[in-house]
Amino acid sequence: MFRKILIANRGEIACRVIETARKLGVQTVAVYSDADANAKHVALADQAIWIGGPAPADSYLRGDDIISAALVTGAEAIHPGYGFLSENPDFVDAVQAAGLVFIGPSADAIRAMGLKDAAKHLMEQAGVPVVPGYHGDNQDPEHLAGAADAIGYPVLIKAVAGGGGKGMRLVAQPQEFSEALDSARGEARTAFGNDAVLIEKYVEQPRHIEVQVFGDGVQAVHLFERDCSLQRRHQKVIEEAPAPGMTPEMRMAMGEAAVRAAKAIGYKGAGTVEFIVDGSEGLRPDRFWFMEMNTRLQVEHPVTEAITGIDLVEWQLRVAAGEVLPARQQDLRINGHAFEARLYAEDVPAGFLPATGRLSHLRFSPAARSDSGVRAGDAISPWYDPMIAKIITHGPTREVALARLAQALRDTQVAGAVTNLAFLGALAGHEGFARGEVDTGLIARDLAELTVQPPATPQQRAQAALAALGLLGTVAPLSGFSLWYPLTRSVLLTHEGETFEALVRTRGPENHLVVVGEIVIEALHRRGGWFFDDEPAVPFARDGAAITLFADAGHRFTMIDPLDREGAAGHAGNLIEAPMPGLVKAVFVAAGDTVTQGQRLAILEAMKMEHTLTAGRDGTVAELLVGAGSQVEAGAALIRLAEDDKEDAA
């Protein structure tokens, strides 16, 4: 076994590899970019080497610098994870030329699968079923159109260098062929610098079933299949193993085909053979076809680990270190069923836009496996994939594993970024999905019902209001001595783009009336907890002005800075004063600047909240009385505006 390895990756997969390395007594070297200096994978590793700027091209894609980092730290091998350099054959060559071991397949095996047409030829020769179609060298449009006629419409045009649906066009009828060909070619040329295409029979409502394979360069075994049909725009959302409806005959046929594929290229390490399956009449051994082979460990490998009990990273390290395959095919069994859901920082209602943010609070279900590259306090930055975690559950049956997934999602708490948690929860509760009716079109068909996010109830809004006012903390034991008198406070909160006001009439430390819109909610503290009209409070987190209630996959509220309201109400004096003691975080103007009413002048941090100080009127900055970094008292003058000479200014 290796003494020390370097992990040429970041995030959850780097952490995942480090965990197994540690279990095997192998030392680890992390690499990191400027954006990841304090990342979890850096903290977990025994050593860490800085490799450059936050953009992948300046760090995680710099093969030469990563190889140098391995050499200077005395690492003997490099684990590439997935993405980045994991399927770059030139990097594999460079690693080996430096006298290091690449934990993965040979450069030749990666190259053999790199181009779709060559891979299809190779697979055909190896006796692996491929989708009927044309994958030859003749790229003459007339010839391709003739091939499409021979295959029969509808057909798919695919870029030979393609992946993830790029350069792919569905053609329903012959008269659309020529235009679709031009557009597929154009896209392929731009994306891959290679405009060659192949033509395939279009498989309607296909399922994506892939087989995990593992080779030692000579022998190969398969570790059964995963169903990854639940996708949105070629992004996998929930994966499972085994595939629902799989029969022993079909499993054997697919497993044997995948092993033939692996052996045909002398495959070493973990790989995945992707098949497209026509499941319109159930799963049948003559209705699956090779699509492509992924020559890396995949994101969804944990579902295979769950049903086989095998640590695939351990197998990767052992085989790369020269051991033979750790098991024979007949030693491998499926135990139960497993699901993986990918938790992303993304704005689902906005069209699944990637989101960023500092995860002020992060909690996973202790009853599920959570593979994550972030901890509470870490940021999801715009530089990398916004995945927060993979949540993996296992059970004796599909039904139990799915119920456990739904529960694990309900137990997941994230504050600080919007996430797809509600969407995942809706999928886990989808009736067709529960019946195992999965195909690659499910999410698109039911998108509307899967993306409804019920807004918070009045009771939840009342809880958010008390949280905003700091009234939900544990009641101090001496509170009986404080003087409580009827007191009404108001708080402005935004929620799902809407602003509402809550009036809180305090009747005692454990008793408030909260008015939200037309509704009055009684908040009482009893039996050790808060109740809102008899509904128990839900877990929540507060980070400055942001409040997250962990109910219904998370309700986010932002408390509106009361000072902004003052500014908005027309505070028109010359002095901008600190409304409370705090730290001046930033000053955005200089003496002599002209400012307009409402313009942001400075930020004061007080009570863990950032308060924006705005100009109460149009004017000119006469003087800065403090700078950023100053600690100030309540009432301290911070900025002075020049005397207003326009007498008639309202």
Catalytic center residues: 296
* 7, 122, 131, 303: which one binds ligand MV4 (CB under 6 A): 131
- Binders of ligand MV4 in range 212-251 (CB under 6 A): 231, 234
Residue 203 in contact with ligand MV4, rule: CB under 6 A: yes
Q: DSSP letters along 32-101, please?
A: EEGGGTT-HHHHHSSEEEEEE-SSGGGTTT-HHHHHHHHHHHT--EEE--SSTTTT-HHHHHHHHHTT-E
Q: Measure the CA–CA gap between 102 and 96, rounded to whole angstroms.
A: 7
* 28, 440, 459, 506: which one binds ligand MV4 (CB under 6 A): 440
Please name the residues in contact with 580: beta carbons below 8 A apart, sequence gap of 6 or more: 604, 606, 607, 611, 634
Residue 92 in contact with ligand MV4, rule: CB under 6 A: no
Q: By C-alpha distance, which of 396, 419, 397 is closest to 409?
A: 419
Residue 126 Cβ vs ligand MV4, minimum distance, rounded to whole Å: 19
Beta-strand ranges (E) seen in 217-264 are 220-232, 235-241
Please name the residues in contact with 347: beta carbons below 8 A apart, sequence gap of 6 or more: 353, 354, 355, 418
Please name the residues in contact with 650: beta carbons below 8 A apart, sequence gap of 6 or more: none
Which CB atom, from 165 or from 573, has the smaller least distance to ligand MV4? 165
Q: CA 555 → CA 378, 421, 493, 529, 568, distances in Å?
A: 20, 11, 12, 20, 27
Please name the residues in contact with 90: beta carbons below 8 A apart, sequence gap of 6 or more: 63, 107
Residue 570 Cβ vs ligand MV4, minimum distance, rounded to whole Å: 56
Which CB atom, from 186 or from 441, has the smaller least distance to ligand MV4? 441
Which CB atom, from 78 or from 156, has the smaller least distance to ligand MV4? 156
Please name the residues in contact with 227: beta carbons below 8 A apart, sequence gap of 6 or more: 207, 208, 209, 239, 240, 241, 242, 243, 244, 438
Which CB atom, from 131 or from 380, has the smaller least distance to ligand MV4? 131
* 87, 200, 240, 305: which one binds ligand MV4 (CB under 6 A): 200
Residue 307 Cβ vs ligand MV4, minimum distance, rounded to whole Å: 21
Residue 429 Cβ vs ligand MV4, minimum distance, rounded to whole Å: 22
Query: Judged by CB under 6 A, which stretch of 15-23, 81-89, 199-207, 547-555 contacts ligand MV4?
Result: 199-207
Using CB under 6 A, count the residues that bind ligand MV4. 14
- Binders of ligand MV4 in range 270-299 (CB under 6 A): 276, 291
Q: DSSP letters along 385-416, please?
A: --EEEEEEEEESSHHHHHHHHHHHHHT-EEES
Which CB atom, from 202 or from 423, has the smaller least distance to ligand MV4? 202
Angle at 1 between CA 264 and CA 43, to 5 degrees: 105
* 208, 226, 369, 394: which one binds ligand MV4 (CB under 6 A): 208
- Binders of ligand MV4 in range 19-38 (CB under 6 A): none
Residue 364 in contact with ligand MV4, rule: CB under 6 A: no
Strand 519-526 vs strand 511-516: parallel, antiparallel, or unpaired? antiparallel
Residue 280 Cβ vs ligand MV4, minimum distance, rounded to whole Å: 12
Instruction: Give the contact letters, 562-601, x = binds to ligand MV4 (CB under 6 A), - = no.
Output: ----------------------------------------
> Which residues partner with 241 through β-bridges?
338
* 202, 352, 384, 557: which one binds ligand MV4 (CB under 6 A): 202
Which CB atom, from 234 or from 565, has the smaller least distance to ligand MV4? 234
In the complex, the residues that contact ligand MV4 under the rule CB under 6 A are: 131, 156, 165, 200-203, 206, 208, 231, 234, 276, 291, 440
